Amino acid sequence: MTIVRDSFYINGEWVKASSKDTLEVTSSGTGELYATIPSGTVEEANEAVEAAAAAFTSWSNVSPKERGEFLQRISEKLAERADEIALNISNEVGMPLMLAKGIQVGIPTATFADNAQRAMEFTWEEEVGNSSLVREPVGVVAAITPWNYPLHQIANKVAASLAAGCTVVLKPSEVAPINAFLLADIIHEVGLPKGVFNMVTGLGPVVGEAIVAHPKTDMVSFTGSTRAGKRVMEIASQMVKRVSLELGGKSANIILEGADLTKAVPDGIFKCYLNSGQTCSALTRMLVPRSKLSEVEDLAVAAAAGFQPADPITGTSFIGPLVSAAQQQRVKDYIKKGVDEGARIILGGTDAPEGLEKGHYVQPTIFTDVKNSMTIAQEEIFGPVLSIIPYDTEEEAVAIANDSLYGLAGGVWAESDEKAFEVARKIRTGQVEINGGAFNIFAPFGGYKQSGIGRELGKYGFEEFLEVKAVQHG
C-alpha cells in the first residue's frame, strides 16, 4: 500500500498543503511507487519560518535541563519505533534492513540522547578577566538534509539546534522523506512547544531557497552536493547569515608498504561499498604500493564477492540497490566514463546484477590502473565503485590523497598505529581513520576545502548553533 502524507508540520500542528501538487517516492528495491508527499510552496516555507521566529524567545529561555528532557524523550520514542523506521529507510534508500536498524536509526537515536546530555551539562557562562562570556542560541535554523542517511542527517541538525535553544525549519530530502514525517509525529507526541520544530517538504529551488532567503532565518545548516551548497552560501551571503555546510567527498584510503593487506583491503571494500557507496565519506580511492598492486587486486575481488546486491528487505547481503533510477543512471555513466578514460575494470560493470532487473541496482565495480587525474578519481560517484590507484613512494601517496577538490575523510593502513598517525597528519581532511578505525558519532564530522564549512556531531556540532557574547564588567 502506498504511503500518503498530505500535510506539513507548522507551529505544532499538521497543516494541509495548499497545493494538490505532490512528489512521488519510489521503492529503491522495486522501482515502484512507495509514497507521495506534498510539494510545498514559498508561502508555506515562509509560514514555517515565521512560526519558528515567533517561538524562539520562549524556547531559548526554557531551561537547558528541560530542553534536554524533551530530546531524551524523542530519543526514547525513536528507539521504540526503530523497526518501523528502519523498514521505511530500507525501502526509500536501499540500505539492507539488517544494517539499517543499527546505522540509519541507531545513530540518530544516540545523537538525540547525546545532545540531551549536552544541553544539561554544558557550561553556558565563563569568566575571562573582567568579562562574562555567555553562550546563546544563534536563532532560527534552516536545516536542509539529504537522502543517503536521511534521519541521521536530520538528527545532526535538529537535535543540536534544539539543545542549543534554537528553533528549526526542516526541509528533508524529497527522495527519502517519510522518516522525517515519522520524526515529526514523535516530536508532536512528546509535546514540544509550538513553533520550535517545523517541517515543510518540497523541492530545493522552491522550499529550500525560501527558508534560506527568509530574513528571519539566522543560520543555515545544509548537507548535500557541493553544487547545491554553493547556491545555499550565495543566497545566505546576501544577509551575512551563518552557514554550516557538509558537502561532497572523494576520500583516499592509503595502504602503506608495511600494512597487513589481508585486513586492509577487505576493510577498504566495506567502507567503499557501505550503503551501496551512497556515503559522502566513503573510501572510494584505494592507494596501494605499485609492487603490491596485483595482490591487492586479487584480495579486492575476493572481498567484493561478499557484496553481491540483494533485496534490501528480504536479502542477507551487505549491499542493496541505489536510491533512485536517476542515481542508478548516474553511476552507470561514471562506470562508462572510467572505461573510456582507460581505467581497467576487474569486477562489475554497467550490466544489471543477475536476477535484479527491477529496482535500482548496480553491480559493485572495481577499477584498477586508475590515474588520479581521471574523472572517476576526481568526481564523487555516490555508488559502489572503487578506484585502485598505484603509487611509488609514500610522499606520492600523500600527494595523490590531497590532489582533490574535497577534504572530508580518509584512511591510512600501516604496520603500526604510530606510522599511520604520522601519515594521517599529512592528509588535508576533516577525518582520517587509521588501521580500520570505526566511525565515532561523538567526534566532529566535516571537511576541508570544498567538502564544507563547520562540524557536526558531538561537542563541536552542538557549538555550531551557539553565539558567544562578552559582557565586560566595570
CA distance 195 to 55: 5
Q: Are 211 and 49 in contact (CB under 8 A)?
A: yes
User: Please, what is the average pLDDT of the chain?
Assistant: 97
- Phi, psi angles (nearest 5°) of residue 373: -80, -10
Checking if the pLDDT of 357 tops 90, the result is: no
Catalytic (active site) residue 280: yes
Determine, yes or no, domain membership for 155.
Answer: yes
CA distance 322 to 335: 15
Catalytic (active site) residue 463: no
Determine, yes or no, domain membership for 412.
Answer: yes
Measuring CA to CA, how many Å separate 113 from each of 77, 101, 308, 444, 465? 11, 17, 35, 16, 17
Determine, yes or no, domain membership for 179.
Answer: yes
- Phi, psi angles (nearest 5°) of residue 407: -160, 55
| Confidence category of residue 474, pLDDT binned at 50, 70, 90 | confident
50: its cell numbers: 515565521
Q: What is the mean pLDDT of residues 290-296?
A: 98
For the range 179-184, what are the long-range contacts, defined as Cβ-Cβ under 8 Å and sequence gap of 24 or more?
A: 179/85, 179/88, 179/89, 179/92, 179/104, 179/150, 179/151, 179/154, 180/145, 180/150, 180/151, 180/154, 181/5, 181/37, 182/81, 182/84, 182/85, 182/88, 183/74, 183/78, 183/151, 183/154, 183/158, 184/9
In total, how many domains does the chain have? 2
Containing structural domain, residue 69: 3-247+451-472
Which one of the listed residues 166, 272, 280, 380 is annotated catalytic? Answer: 280
Distance of CA 138 to the CA centre of its chain: 22
| pTM metric for this prediction | 0.96
Pair (218, 297) in one structural domain: no
Pair (338, 237) in one structural domain: no
Determine, yes or no, domain membership for 445.
Answer: no
6: its cell numbers: 498530505
pLDDT of 22-80, one tens digit each? 999 999 999 999 999 999 999 999 999 999 999 999 999 999 999 999 999 999 999 99
Per-residue pLDDT, 257: 96
Pair (420, 301) in one structural domain: yes
Pair (98, 172) in one structural domain: yes
CA distance 400 to 172: 35
Pair (93, 210) in one structural domain: yes
